[in-house]
């Protein structure tokens, strides 16, 4: 929260938000609601422009199956990262996410160009 004064600069013209958190810390689960509210809902960005990453530390007994997030976070794309076990999976999910963002950017640029022409 020390950096809240910088948030408007960080948010300006952003096309996507990736929120990385430690699912084993209850405080993080509360904080991601605040990040989502500030960086996604207030912008406003689409839910498809937000990616949640539950990062499991090496050696942690990460229970990836039973992480249930409350509404509205449960509408977001959630991936579990455990770089010891499956870095390739995480890489593929990031690529899919970036493709989504690029598609949305291209669509909005086309809409802007059409509105200038018409």
Give the model confidence (pLDDT) of 18-44 as tens digits. Answer: 999 999 888 888 899 999 999 999 888
| Count of the separate structural domains present in the chain | 1
Instruction: With respect to residue 4, please indicate whether it lies within any of the assigned structural domains.
Output: no
In contact, 23 and 57? CB cutoff 8 Å: no
Instruction: With respect to residue 1, please indicate whether it lies within any of the assigned structural domains.
Output: no
Side-chain-side CA neighbours of 4 within 13 Å: the count stands at: 5
In contact, 52 and 76? CB cutoff 8 Å: yes
Q: What's the average model confidence in pLDDT over 64-80?
A: 85
Instruction: With respect to residue 92, please indicate whether it lies within any of the assigned structural domains.
Output: yes
Instruction: With respect to residue 5, please indicate whether it lies within any of the assigned structural domains.
Output: no
Q: Is 17 helix (H, G, I), strand (E, B) or coil?
A: strand
Residue with the larger pLDDT of the pair 10 and 36: 36
Domain coverage including residue 92? 11-117
Instruction: With respect to residue 93, please indicate whether it lies within any of the assigned structural domains.
Output: yes
Report cis status (omega within 30 of 0) of the bond before 44. yes
Instruction: With respect to residue 101, please indicate whether it lies within any of the assigned structural domains.
Output: yes
The pTM of the full predicted model, rounded to 2 decimals, is 0.82
């Amino acid at each position: 929260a020390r950096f809240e004064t910088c948030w408007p600069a960080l948010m300006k013209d952003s096309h996507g938000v990736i929120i990385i958190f430690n699912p084993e810390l209850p405080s993080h689960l509360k904080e991601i609601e605040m990040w989502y509210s500030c960086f996604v809902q207030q912008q406003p960005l689409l839910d498809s422009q937000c990616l949640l990453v539950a990062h499991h530390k090496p050696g942690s007994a990460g229970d990836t199956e039973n992480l249930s997030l409350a509404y509205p976070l449960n509408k977001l794309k959630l991936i579990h990262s455990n770089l010891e076990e499956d870095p390739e999976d995480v890489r593929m999910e990031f690529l899919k996410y970036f493709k989504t963002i690029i598609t949305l950017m291209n669509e909005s640029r086309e809409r802007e160009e059409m509105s200038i022409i018409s």
